Structure 1
Amino acid sequence: MVTRPATGGPAALAETPAPQQREAAVQARVAELEALLGDPTDPGNPCGYQAVLNADRAAVPFSRGEGLLDDFGMNREFVPSRLGGRLDSIDTLVRVMRPVFRRDVGLGMSYGMMSYMAASDVWMAGSDAQQEWLAGSMLRGAKAAIAQHETAHSNQLVRSQVAARRADGGGFLLSGGKPVINNLARSEALVLFCRTDPAPGSRSHSVLLLNPGELPADRSRIVPHQMPVGLRGNAFAGVEFDDCPVPESALLGPVGSGIETALRSFQISRTVIAATALAAVDTSLRTAVRFDHEHRGGGWGGARSDSQRTDAAATGAFVNLLLYDSLALVAMRAIHLLPTQTSVYSAALKYLLPRILTETMYDLSIVLGAGFYTREGTLGIFQKHVRDVPVLSLGHAGSVACQATVIPQLHRLARQSWFVEDDAPAGLFRPRAELPPLRTESLSLACGRDSLSASLLSVAAAIPGRSPVERALRGLAGQLVEEFRDLRDRVLALEPADRTTPVGPASFALMDRYALLLAASAVLGVWRHNQDGSDPFLADPAWAAAALHRIARRLGAKVPDLPGECETRLRHEVHVRFSAQRSYDLYNTPIPG
């Protein structure tokens, strides 16, 4: 249900605090978009699953979906409010985009995320004139594209195949090409990452803001490219340059600032894409529950062995969603509340994307059985999401790039921050709490601090033991504190050579453990700081205990079985949310169908 201001006319509305008005406005926009998208299972819905699958089969953009988003004014969500749009927080952007990703990952990427990824670099590093130009273009409904990674060089950021050299008459001459760019052929703006200095080093690359339609046709060429498996309806293409002239005004930020701009913008784009991807798995869980519900006579009865197996798969997927969304929530809100620490949290979130969400979708295939191979109707969306979601973990912000972000910081974190840092602010863990304005200039490449893990210590020490579930949660939290202590000792024990050249298997294993412990810290923080009664489920220790139990097992710890109440409570919540048509994420939002 959409929260609305208190009744009583304009005077009552004026008395409503601004944060409540903003939250009501966000909920209203999400509800409006869900209503426009309609019931996805209705075969007559022009934006339902069948229409999505038809476009995917034809490998064309989902035009009806794009038209609906045009009518909604989705591009305004990507433009800062100071420039005439509605973008005021990363949290809001993700909440508005999740309904789109629940329906179609391809639509979410082609219509929204690619434009936002390009635009975020401009909002971060562009001049006033560049920002105003792009804002005006996007508010008219135009799209933007971004070209950063290098598919010919394992997506390495610093092996650019596009070089920009100074032209005699001013500006630059572009040579080389980028083979795979989403939305290039239909974008009015292109954010292009290119080499401006042949010498190696952190100042070797720059960023240009171009209008592809204004490039000279005899010096540039767009080459179509088709994705073979995932995101089949996205309009991919490459670009080739042959001494193509571009003006000095195209430079986005100072010469040589490209790598710094990219590494800072990755902190936002990694978080946004990873957080919205969860919505597709939400749909996959709902699809599996619907299939099971229909094939067990309208209920959750049936053969005991089948019932236990499918119930375990569904509740396990639900726990994985809550676990992952807890870290996503923290990463989103940290961009506003802890911007200097965001590089670690965003990388950990994106690193866990294929580890948790993709595995969860395959685990749900247990429920579908042979139905997993269905490509039509309601079930067909499951397989489409299975193909689309893994594509989101590729590219310059893929798992290896995320490891490369965190591993060099491990020793400094272990030495300076772990077990001594102050606790994270409560607002980091509250889904609908007010956020300060976004200050991208505060984003740091590495600061040596981690407040999130401090929550693991503080909450673990304060968990009461009034019930079997609370006692289980307290025991699991205590075990994870010891896992964290062991992690710190192992990081500090690395030889100096291992720290300066972190390529050994030990470093990768330590980073993996750290990402899971950050997720555990987020789970405990979300549980602890949502005890105000606004969401009884989040205040219940059952989901937090189940999430920590999964994390501890992933870490290889020996843990006792959970009390039976945990499974019962989670299974009930899965069933209730399906019947009441509410999302499976932390926001528990009403959804159609």
Structure 2
Amino acid sequence: MTPGRTTAAARVVPRRPDAPHPSTPRTDTDARTSTSTGSGTDARTDARTSIGTDARSDADARTVARSGTDAHTGARTGTDARTGSGTDARTGSGARTGTSTSAGAGTGATGLGSVLVPVVLGGVLDRADILVESLRPVFRHDVTAGMALAAAPLTAALHVWCAGSPQQQRHVADLLLQGGSLALSRGPHTVGQVFATDGLHTRQTRDGYLLDGTRTPLTAGPEAAALLLYTTVAPSRGVTAPGGATVLLAGLGAVPHGRAGLRLPDGVRFTRCLLPPAAAVAEPGRGTALFLRTLQVTGTVVPALLLGTADSCLRLALRRLTGAPGPAVGRMGSRDVARAVAGAFLDLTAADALATTAARALGVLPGESAVLSAAVSCVVPMLIEDALQDLGPLLGARALWRDGDEPHFAHQAHHLRALAPRWPGAFTGRAIALPHLPFLARHAWFNTSPAPARLFATGGDLPGLAWQRLVPFSRTDSLSAVLPAAGGRARAAGHDELARLITAFTAELDRVRRHFARLPLTDPSLTSDPRNLAMTDRYMLLLTAAACLGRHQEASRTGQGHVADTVWITATLRRLGRRLGLGAASASPAAENRHIHDEALRHCAADEDFGVHRAAPVA
């Protein structure tokens, strides 16, 4: 099915001198020799930014696609399916050689298409946690390439997987599998502007939807063959229009009657573009409901992918420490260095524990994913920012140098700070989670059994993504139930400091429960009260602590990695407790900081992944 056919030719618009003609096919060679636009490009134009890579980058990206296939089939080849392309992808060493690869080259140049397509449609997409593991190497290599090649087309395609017709799903699956790309305009990642029109006017006619105007920004690169957009449909004479937002799938390639859309440097222009009624994704006017469903996946997966970029920043900083530390480190002193490294390591491993738990919950506990994904979108960007703040002084002014690892650190950190708060955004996460909390306070907290062990276990056979099982409202909360159940275990094991911290977190959960139990179950003004937003933030940090505890308990049972270490979980809870202002969370002792610092260096020296969900060396 062609997503859209136009009954009027697109109006001629002057093109940039260096822009290829829209009807001219773009070859892989063209994509690889695109001129780089530099690392300071605004996040809205990342899809047009060329990323400096070495000759191995294309092979690395193709390896990621193969790794995704292995991860779903259980096969293990020379590259670990969970870690992808190895050291170069994590450290981004190729980003310094000057050769360019277009971030908008599409999934064909990288082989990522099959990773984004569900198994039932011929791809390998099945579980969210494996999807994260398969795509993280791209983000370790370069965050802007990851957003353009993976996150943007995935976010757009999820709308079709969740609610598209069989014809739409087949069309988009074939497009991605054959190397094409799907663009998203004003999607779930655009905070506060999800349904903005940007001068695009859509009218309902007897023949379909008539589009006129310009829509920006266009993510996923100029080579996209189709565009998924949110729009508000206005009625025309004799034809009524549905209220609310409508999601449309529009073709951007040549069609028998002209062009559906003309690409511009800042987006796409439609000139009397008529899309058939079948172009609507889901029921017309139900765009908000579809947005909330897809957000449960994107709100979990995209922040989890951004942790791959933060991992490469941590690795670059640690490599500087073990090499030539530089004058900035020399002035800090050994205790300050240990505290900075330990803080960054604890923040990233805590964020990874929450993100991985939420990704696995999409299959294990889909009824709780609405709140968990909102927590990930709020907590993970905050912890990433705090980790970058700790790592920055380790490099000092060297981050401005043009040689060595420092420029890549600056590039990754700059784009990470710009992108992390926007996918989907902390306020969006709070606004989605808060209406659930009065109900959970009355019926779920301290009344629900703890989450099952398989939610935290590594490996194992879990249910795949089932779009129909994602519900907009969570009525249970088994993750927070881990907190009151864990105190007795820690005390019985003789870990008195850990038991004291868990008791403080449990008391804080009860305080949050009392606050929300007093609020009405349905009140549109809940999000206008800053006290409610602050308590929502505290609840999300409590969920982070519960995810870390659940992962520690499961790792202790199997003896797996640093997550099983009591020092790690105690230090992590202590750091989270200081954010909550808990009296039991005192400053970390110097010996504890040194222990975590040494653990981080050991992982770097052993070339191991920093993610808490695996302990095997990176292939």
> Shared fold (TM-score greater than 0.5)?
yes
- For residue 167 of structure 1, what is the aligned residue in structure 2? 205
What CA deviation, in whole Å up to 9, does each residue of 1:23-75 have, x standing for no partner? 7479733455327x568575xxxxx1314x765xxxx7358xx69x7576221
Secondary structure, in 3 states, of the residue corresponding to 1:435?
Answer: coil
Distance 1:313 1:446 in 2: 39
AA at the equivalent of 1:190? L
1:15 aligns to what? none
Q: What letter is aligned with 2:365?
A: L
Unaligned runs of 5+ in 1: 1-17, 43-47, 226-237
The 5 Å alignment of 1:443-592 reads 443-464=470-491, 466=493, 470-494=495-519, 500-558=525-583, 559-562=585-588, 566-586=592-612, 587-588=614-615, 590-591=617-618
Q: Deviations over 1:187-215 (max 9, x none)?
A: 0121111112579x995111111221147
Give the Å deviation of 1:248: 2.0
- Supply the distance in 2 between the matched residues of 1:324 and 1:348 (Cα, whole angstroms): 10
Match of 2:288 in 1: 259
Shift in alpha-carbon separation, 1:542–1:372, aligned structure 2, 3 A:
same
Instruction: Determine if contact 2:242/2:284 at 8 Å carries over to the other structure.
Output: no
Correspondence 1:144-155 to 2 at 5 A: 144-149=182-187, 155=192
Against the structure 1 CA distance between its residues 38 and 355, is the aligned structure 2 distance closer, same or farther, given a 3 Å change threshold?
closer
CA 1:383–1:80 in 2, change beyond 3 Å: closer, same or farther? same
From 78, 96, 101, give the equivalent of 2:139. 101
1:117 is the counterpart of 2:155: yes
Q: How far apart, in 1, do the equivalents of 2:78 and 2:229 lie?
A: 32
Among 180, 188, 202, the alignment partner of 2:217 is 180
Q: 1:496 to 1:457 in 2, by over 3 A?
A: closer
2:86 equivalent in structure 1: 34
Q: Secondary structure at the match of 1:192?
A: strand
Q: How far did 1:141 drift?
A: 1.0
Provide closer, same or farther for how the CA distance between residues 408 and 497 of structure 1 changes in structure 2, counting only shifts above 3 A: closer
Question: Between the two proteins, what is the percent identity of the paired residues?
Answer: 29
Aligned-pair distance for 1:545?
0.9
Kindly tell me the number of residue pairs found equivalent between the two proteins. 541
Report which stretch shifted further, 528-537 or 383-392.
528-537
Please list the CA deviations of residues 72-102 of structure 1 after superposition, one character each: whole Å capped at 9, or x if unmatched. Answer: 6221111111111111111111001111111
3-state SS of paired residue (1:241):
strand
Report if the CA contact (8 A) 2:108-2:180 is conserved.
no
**Contact between 1:472 and 1:562, CA under 8 Å: does it hold in 2?**
no
- 1:365-412, Cα deviation, whole Å (9 max, x unpaired): 121122233344311111111211123235472111111101122211
- Aligned equivalents of 2:608, 2:109: Cα separation in 1: 24
Alignment of 1:167-246 (within 5 A): 167-168=205-206, 170-196=207-233, 203-214=243-254, 220-225=261-266, 238-246=267-275
Give the whole-Å Cα distance in 1 for the aligned partners of 2:385 and 2:262: 36
**Cα distance in 2 between the residues matched to 1:421 and 1:562:** 32
Q: Which residue of 1 aligns with 2:324?
A: 295
Work out the CA distance in 2 between the residues paired with 1:141 and 1:20: 20
What is the rounded CA distance, in whole Å, between the counterparts of 1:402 and 1:20 in structure 2? 30
For 1:340 and 1:197, locate their aligned partners in 2 and report how far apart those are by CA, in whole Å. Answer: 35
Task: Classify 1:247/1:589 alpha carbon distance in 2 versus 1 (closer, same or farther; 3 Å).
Answer: farther
Sort the Cα spacing of 1:374 and 1:498 in 2 relative to 1 into closer, same or farther, 3 A.
Answer: farther
Asked if the contact 1:424/1:455 (under 8 Å) is kept, the reply is yes
Partner of 1:234: none
Contact 2:188 2:291 in 1 (8 A): no
Give per-residue Cα distances to partners, 1:232-251, cap 9 Å, x unaligned: xxxxxx12334321122212
Partners in 1 of 2:188 and 2:137 — Cα distance?
31
Selected match of 2:95 from 34, 49, 65: 49
Equivalent residue number for residue 165 of structure 2: 127
Structure 2: state its 5+ residue gaps: 1-69
- What's the secondary structure of 2:476's corresponding residue? coil
Note the alpha carbon deviations across 1:290-310, whole angstroms, 9 max, x for none: 11222359xxxx979611111
Contact map agreement 2:89 2:141 (CA 8 A) in 1: no
Please provide the CA RMSD for this pair: 3.1
Measured after TM superposition, the shift of residue 589 of structure 1 is: 5.0
SS at match of 2:472: coil
SS of the equivalent of 1:317 reads helix
Once residues 160 and 78 of structure 2 are traced to their aligned partners in structure 1, the CA distance between those partners, rounded to angstroms, is 24
CA contact (8 A) 2:369 2:474 kept: no
CA contact (8 A) 1:453 1:521 kept: yes
Q: 1:402 to 1:303 in 2, by over 3 A?
A: closer
